[in-house]
């Protein structure tokens, strides 16, 4: 029981730090961040391109679009997934 509470405490601390980073409008993409394309994201989350596009259009997934191509920040995607898991 104590280890579960401790793990939750660590997760909450990480989420708070990530929220500070992503809520700061001057920080767009970390220099060390990896930029992914559709095929990378579909492989990581084991989803189809159609599902990925639907998530983007429903604003359920962070992305940016340049010249008709969708791009994803790996760091922002992982943060998004972590945040969704904590909301459950």
Q: What is the average per-residue pLDDT within 31-60? A: 87
Selection from 84, 66, 59, 82 nearest residue 29 by Cα: 66
The pLDDT, as a whole number, for residue 27 is 45
C-beta separation of 61 from 80 below 8 A: yes
Q: Give the domain range for residue 7.
A: 2-87
Q: What is the average per-residue pLDDT within 56-63? A: 84
Selection from 37, 43, 39 nearest residue 69 by Cα: 37
14-24 per-position pLDDT tens digit: 777 767 666 65
When the pLDDT of each residue in the chain is averaged and rounded to a whole number, the result is 77
Is the pTM higher than 0.75?
no
C-beta separation of 19 from 76 below 8 A: no
**Residue 1 pLDDT class (50, 70, 90 cuts):** very low
The pLDDT, as a whole number, for residue 48 is 95
The pLDDT, as a whole number, for residue 60 is 75
Q: What domain count does the chain have?
A: 1
């Amino acid at each position: 029981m104590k280890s579960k509470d401790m793990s939750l405490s660590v997760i909450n601390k990480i989420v708070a730090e990530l929220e500070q980073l992503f809520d700061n409008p001057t920080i767009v993409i970390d220099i060390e961040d990896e930029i992914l394309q559709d095929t990378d994201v579909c492989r990581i989350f084991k989803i189809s391109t159609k599902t990925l596009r639907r998530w983007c259009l429903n604003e359920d997934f962070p992305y940016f679009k340049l010249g008709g191509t969708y791009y994803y920040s790996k760091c922002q995607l992982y943060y998004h997934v972590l945040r969704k898991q904590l909301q459950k």
